[in-house]
Every structure is written in C-alpha cells, then in structure tokens.
Amino acid sequence: MSVYTPVAVNASGCASPGCECCGREPAYPSDLTDAEWSVLKGEARGVMAQLVAAAGRPMVHDLRAVLDGIGYVTRYGIEWRALPVDFPPHEAVYAFFLRWSRRGLPERLAARLRVLAGRRELPTVGCVDSQTVRAAEMVGAAACGYDAGKKMKGQKRHVVVDTLGLLLCVVVTAASMQDRDGAHPVLALLREKFSTITLVWVDGGYAGRLQV
C-alpha cells in the first residue's frame, strides 16, 4: 500500500484537532500486530503513567498509533515530518519517542522479549559488529570519515546484540575508525550496562587487543 493512500479511520476520541489516530486500522508492514501489541502494551502504558505523573497531563493520542508511528520511522528511515497522515502529528510522536527512550522503555521491552523467548532477562553473551553509513547533511565534518574498505564517507555504527539479535548498545564514530578501535568504547558501554556479559563474539575485523 502506498504511504500516500488515505486510510479509513474513526476520528472520534482524539482531542487534538484534525488528528485521526483513534480507531486507526493497521495499514503498513511496520504496524504492530495484535500479538505484538499484547506483549508491548503493559510496559508502554506503565511508562505513560510515569509521564502523566511527571507532567500532570494525560496523553491525547492513541498509544498504539504513536508506537506504530515510531515503528514506521525506524523501519523505513524517513524523517519524522514525513509520517503519513493517519498517524498522530510527527511532533507528538517524536516527543514521546524521546521521553520513552529516556525512561529506558526500549531496554525494558528487550528484556521482556528475552524472557518470553525462554532466556534470562539479563544477557550473558553478546556479538559485536559494525556498519558504515552515509552521514546526514547536518552531521559536521569532524564526526565523519572515510571507510577505505567500504569506499564510503560517513559514520560507523558499532553495535552489540544478544543471541536473539536484540540490541544491547551502540556507539557511533567516524567511518574512518577501525573496528578494533571502535570496539573499546562500545565494550566499555556494554560492561557499564550489563555486568552479566561474560562472552563477546567478534569477527576478524576486531583482531588485536580488545580489553577495556
């Protein structure tokens, strides 16, 4: 389905003028399924209760629609302002994304998914790898570099995931940084976040001294 195709929704229930998020029907591959929402809604509503307690104002928009909006942006890599009109306004979606992230919602959801998969809540094994990407126009020259191996100028993501592929931590550097050098800050962050990690797998690009 084209992202520009209007989606039939029931506009009742949202206090934001012109917003049609309430009663929104799933329309894109990135939208949560009912099964996924049943796993996520408990934690998401718990975080929303914290936000209401802190700000003293309940959320106007439909919570599931907001999460679908975040999923749309992260899956397709678009700008926040390019969200299709059947989602809540992009300003609201981005604001809640920041607030959820600051309260550790992504980490809590990953921990819950590990438990549902029959694993321990805290990981004991990780896997490190990197990816070079072109930097956005607003990224300064000091934060960019040239990756001779990928023949690309931009930035490099040094990522650690668990055995299920769930993200544990990420560090962004200039693309010119060697993997073995980028491993130092990412492993230091991993140790800070998860003292339970006892083993980390890496590929040949990380050959050298990796102790932190």
36-54 per-position pLDDT tens digit: 888 888 877 877 777 677 6
pLDDT for 206: 78
139 vs 11: which has the higher pLDDT: 139
Distance of CA 153 to the CA centre of its chain: 24
Task: Report residue 129's pLDDT band, with 50, 70 and 90 as the boundaries.
Answer: very high
pLDDT for 3: 42
Q: Is the pLDDT of residue 197 over 90?
A: yes
Percent of the chain topping pLDDT 70: 88
- The whole model's pTM is what? 0.70
* Residue 168 CB neighbours (<10 A): 21
What mean pLDDT comes out for the span 107-134? 88
pLDDT digits (tens, 9 = 90+) for 55-86: 656 677 888 999 999 999 989 888 899 999 88
Cβ–Cβ < 8 Å for 126, 200: yes
Cβ–Cβ < 8 Å for 127, 134: no
What residues are paired with 159 via a beta bridge?
129, 170
pLDDT for 137: 74
What mean pLDDT comes out for the span 131-142? 81
| Close Cβ partners of 109 (under 8 Å, ≥ 6 residues apart) | 40, 43
Pairing of strands 125-133, 167-174: unpaired
What mean pLDDT comes out for the span 15-42? 84
pLDDT for 192: 92
Residue type, 166: L
